[in-house]
Amino acid sequence: MEKRIDLELRRRSPSEIKELNLDNCRSTSIVGLSDEYVNLQILSLNNVGLTSLKGFPNLPKLWKLELSDNRISNGLNFLSGCKKLAHLNLSNNKIKDLETLKPLQDFENLKNLDLYNNDVTNIEDYRSKMFAFMPSIKYLDGFDKDDREAEDDEEGDDGEDDELNGNNDSEEEDSDVEEEDGGPALSALYNNIDEESSDSSLYEGEEEEDEDDDEEDMDGENFGNNDQNSKANENSHGDPEESTRGKKRKHEDEEEN
pLDDT tens by residue, 11-56:
999 999 999 999 999 999 999 999 999 999 999 999 999 999 999 9
Return left, alpha or beta for 252; rule: phi > 0 is left, psi -120 to 50 is alpha, else beta: alpha
User: How far out from the chain centre does Cα 213 lie?
Assistant: 56
- 52: helix, coil or strand? coil
pLDDT of residue 151: 80
- pLDDT band for 257, please (50, 70, 90 cuts): very low
Cα separation, 161 vs 142, whole angstroms: 18
Distances (CA, A) of 148 to 41, 88, 143: 27, 19, 5
Helices (H), 69-125: 98-101
Cα separation, 207 vs 201, whole angstroms: 10
Which tens digits make up the pLDDT trace of 54-94? 999 999 999 999 999 999 999 999 999 999 999 999 999 99
pTM over 0.75: no
